[in-house]
């Protein structure tokens, strides 16, 4: 259940900290006091879109926190979605400025999608105008499937996979648009490209190898000039070279070490240097003797590099991409050679899968109809408990012409609210107040099936009054016996049922309009009921009536 709601700097709310409890939690207040802001804050924490005008005037950021206490079963379901909790508590927080949004679950940053993915496990919110969704038959199937999700889960997974494969085959068939002339033209072009790549016979790494050889050949004269100068420094006939100087130094230090043995280390180092220079000189001479510029080799390297670079430019910039292009184009050629055969093969696969899909849709429809009979009965009973004196309710099935991702059922709710009146589509019969009660009935039935711990109703009482209002209040009270209910209402009959009653008011503080929320004690709750009953004039008789309503 929802334990705590904390709101800071949201619209007219400076800061509010509300602790909810089990049972029926009622929120009331004057029109415009900020009841909708409160529900809006819950929706924001659960991932609803945040508009700039929601940011209040009490700071440069707004924040909302929801703290839930969950059972072990919910903990397991959350873990399946990679949300891990301790002490069976889930803290969802959202902080936002004009330009930034930060969502967290138990202190760890998450995306809006991650929060939305777990919302249905924690809470069910019925907004002010949600009952209007019943006017659209497209929503009727979703309600039925939600009610029977356990029975349908396996077959709907099968349907989802089959339909995905079916659509893929249909998309493949849509690609068969070539006429014979275009097919031949494409084949000729592919054959030219394949032959070009195969004729090149490129080896892996050949481009780098050739580039190194080409660079050496192109700069052979520069290399020869530089190394000749190096050789002249080491060995020269015209002047005293480095090797001669090192050799002379080595002889001199050998004589000197006869008089001082500590010079043996330096003599040894000079000996090593002389040996290294001799080795260097031999290797340098060998390199220079082999270094020559071959016009034919240079031309061959240049031509080979041009072929490889041209193919790289055409097919992705690397030898790996050239090989990938060769494979892809060869496969495409094979496909086009057997174009008609491939088309017929896919048609057969599609038609075969379509038969399976229709069979699966039929099996799903049979399950839906069995579940629909049970849902009809439960909704009818719930409607009778909400002061529908006479009501007939049916779920009408019409088969679709072709399968969809949701099967082949068009579902529409039919209702009759007067004796002897024929069943008609719900959208053509129900008034606003009736729609509210029908949605409440559906929510009640779904809540029992979903096992959701917390239900929020925002003015579910829209368009009802009198005895009907009392029966709606009784219904909410019965629901609250088994789960937490949070209800925003303007009807005293419902407010009087509160296990915890919160008053929402608006006032001016320091020239700023501020919405505040306070839990009411028994006497304050009575006075709030009196306000709801009496409006602007609260007399002793009205207060007495409020006390009687509270006792009832």
pLDDT single digits (tens) 479-537 = 888 889 998 888 899 999 999 999 988 887 777 777 888 899 999 999 989 988 886 67
In a domain, 145, yes or no: no
Same domain, 244 and 324: yes
Please tell me the predicted confidence (pLDDT) of residue 168: 92
Give the span between the Cα atoms of 335 and 346, in whole angstroms: 12
Contact present, 347 and 339 (Cβ < 8 Å):
no
Please tell me the predicted confidence (pLDDT) of residue 468: 82
Contact present, 430 and 111 (Cβ < 8 Å):
no
Same domain, 191 and 331: yes
Q: Which of 302, 336, 370 is the last residue of a domain?
A: 336
Model confidence, pTM: 0.62
In a domain, 108, yes or no: yes
Give the span between the Cα atoms of 29 and 542, in whole angstroms: 17
Please tell me the predicted confidence (pLDDT) of residue 73: 86
In a domain, 361, yes or no: no
| Other residues' Cβ atoms within 10 Å of the Cβ of residue 245 | 11
pLDDT in tens, 117-129: 888 888 887 765 5
Encoding tokens for residue 323? 């090989």
Return the CATH number at 74: 3.40.50.300
Same domain, 191 and 117: no
Please tell me the predicted confidence (pLDDT) of residue 166: 94
Give the span between the Cα atoms of 90 and 105, in whole angstroms: 7
Please tell me the predicted confidence (pLDDT) of residue 369: 96
In a domain, 452, yes or no: no
In a domain, 511, yes or no: yes
Please tell me the predicted confidence (pLDDT) of residue 499: 93
In a domain, 170, yes or no: no
Burial of 435 (0-12, 13-18, 19+ CB in 10 A): buried
Phi-psi map region of 39: left, alpha, beta (phi>0 left; psi -120 to 50 alpha)? alpha
Same domain, 227 and 328: yes
Give the span between the Cα atoms of 410 and 140, in whole angstroms: 9
Please tell me the predicted confidence (pLDDT) of residue 536: 66
Structural domain of residue 545, as residue ranges? 523-552
Strands 62-69 and 2-10: antiparallel
Q: Is 6 helix (H, G, I), strand (E, B) or coil?
A: strand
Buried b (16+ CB within 10 A) or exposed e, 95-108: ebeeeeeebebbee
Please tell me the predicted confidence (pLDDT) of residue 501: 95
Distance (Å) of CA 177 to CA 182, 330, 331, 336, 340: 9, 20, 18, 12, 11
Same domain, 509 and 546: no
Please tell me the predicted confidence (pLDDT) of residue 134: 76
Distance (Å) of CA 175 to CA 328, 331, 350, 513: 17, 16, 14, 63
Same domain, 234 and 112: no
Q: Which helix (H) or strand (E) holds 210?
A: helix 206-218
Same domain, 215 and 324: yes
Same domain, 14 and 115: yes
Same domain, 200 and 304: yes
Please tell me the predicted confidence (pLDDT) of residue 225: 67
Give the span between the Cα atoms of 165 and 148, in whole angstroms: 25
Q: Where are the beta strands (DSSP E) in 70-168?
A: 89-96, 101-105, 108-110, 123-126
In a domain, 359, yes or no: no
Give the span between the Cα atoms of 153 and 156, in whole angstroms: 5
Residues 6+ apart with CB under 8 A from 90: 67, 68, 70, 78, 83, 105, 106, 118, 122
Please tell me the predicted confidence (pLDDT) of residue 89: 92
Same domain, 546 and 511: no
Give the span between the Cα atoms of 418 and 505, in whole angstroms: 41
Same domain, 25 and 63: yes
Same domain, 108 and 215: no
Give the count of domains, the chain. 3
Edge-to-edge strand list for the sheet holding 2-10: 108-110, 101-105, 89-96, 62-69, 2-10, 13-19, 512-520, 500-509, 24-29, 484-488, 454-458, 123-126
In a domain, 150, yes or no: no
| Other residues' Cβ atoms within 10 Å of the Cβ of residue 412 | 17
Tokens 């072709």 correspond to 402
Edge-to-edge strand list for the sheet holding 424-425: 392-404, 407-416, 424-425
Which residues in the chain land under pLDDT 70?
52-59, 127-132, 219-221, 223-225, 229, 232, 236-240, 288-295, 430-433, 448, 450, 462-463, 535-536
Contact present, 42 and 5 (Cβ < 8 Å):
yes
- Closest Cα partner for 472 from 497, 446, 445, 494? 494
């Amino acid at each position: 259940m929802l334990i705590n709601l904390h709101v800071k700097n949201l619209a007219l709310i400076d800061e509010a900290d509300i602790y909810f409890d089990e049972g029926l939690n009622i929120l009331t207040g004057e029109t415009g006091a900020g009841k909708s802001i409160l529900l809006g804050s819950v929706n924001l924490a659960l991932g609803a879109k945040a508009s700039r005008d929601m940011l209040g005037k009490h700071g440069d950021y707004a924040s909302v926190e929801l703290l839930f206490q969950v059972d072990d079963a919910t903990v397991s379901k959350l873990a399946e979605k990679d949300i891990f909790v301790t002490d069976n508590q889930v803290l969802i927080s959202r902080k936002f400025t004009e330009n930034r949004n930060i969502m967290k679950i138990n202190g760890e940053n998450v995306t809006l999608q991650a929060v939305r993915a777990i919302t249905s496990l924690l809470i069910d919110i019925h907004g002010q105008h949600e009952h209007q969704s019943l006017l659209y038959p497209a929503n009727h199937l979703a309600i039925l499937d939600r009610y029977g999700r356990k029975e349908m889960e396996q077959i709907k997974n099968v349907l989802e996979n089959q339909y995905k494969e079916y659509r893929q085959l249909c998309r493949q068939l849509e690609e068969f648009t070539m006429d014979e002339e275009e097919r031949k033209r494409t084949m000729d072009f592919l054959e030219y490209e394949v032959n070009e790549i195969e004729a090149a016979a490129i080896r892996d790494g050949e481009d780098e190898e050739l580039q190194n050889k080409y660079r050496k050949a192109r700069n052979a004269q520069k290399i020869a000039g530089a190394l000749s100068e190096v050789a002249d420094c080491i060995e020269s006939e015209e002047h005293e070279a480095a090797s001669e100087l090192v050799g002379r130094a080595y002889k001199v230090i050998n004589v000197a070490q006869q008089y001082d043995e500590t010079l043996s280390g330096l003599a040894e180092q000079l000996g090593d240097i002389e040996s290294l220079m001799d080795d260097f000189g031999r290797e340098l001479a060998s390199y220079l003797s082999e270094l020559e510029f071959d016009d034919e080799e240079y031309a061959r390297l240049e031509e080979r590099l041009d072929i490889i670079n041209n193919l790289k430019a055409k097919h992705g910039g690397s030898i790996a991409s050239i090989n990938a292009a060769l494979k892809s184009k060869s496969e495409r050629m094979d496909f086009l050679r057997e174009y008609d055969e491939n088309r017929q093969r896919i048609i057969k696969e599609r038609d075969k899968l379509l038969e399976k899909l229709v069979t699966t849709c039929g099996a799903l429809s049979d399950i839906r109809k069995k579940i629909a009979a049970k849902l009809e009965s439960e909704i009818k009973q719930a409607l009778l408990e909400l002061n529908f004196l006479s009501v007939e309710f049916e779920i009408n099935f019409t088969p679709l012409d072709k399968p969809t991702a949701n099967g082949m059922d068009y579902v529409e709710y039919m209702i009759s609210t007067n004796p002897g009146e024929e069943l008609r589509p719900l959208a053509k019969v129900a008034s606003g107040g009736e729609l509210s009660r029908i949605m409440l009935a559906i929510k009640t039935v779904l809540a029992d099936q979903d096992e959701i711990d917390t239900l929020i109703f925002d003015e579910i009482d829209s368009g009802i009054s009198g005895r009907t209002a009392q029966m709606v209040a009784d219904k909410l009270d019965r629901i609250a016996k088994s789960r937490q209910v949070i209800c925003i209402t303007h009807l005293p009959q419902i407010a009087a049922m509160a296990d915890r009653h919160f008053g929402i008011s608006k006032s001016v503080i320091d020239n700023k309009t501020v919405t505040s929320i306070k839990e009411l004690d028994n006497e304050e709750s009575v006075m709030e009921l009196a306000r709801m009953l009496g409006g602007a004039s609260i007399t002793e008789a009205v207060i007495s009536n409020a006390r009687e309503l509270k006792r009832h």
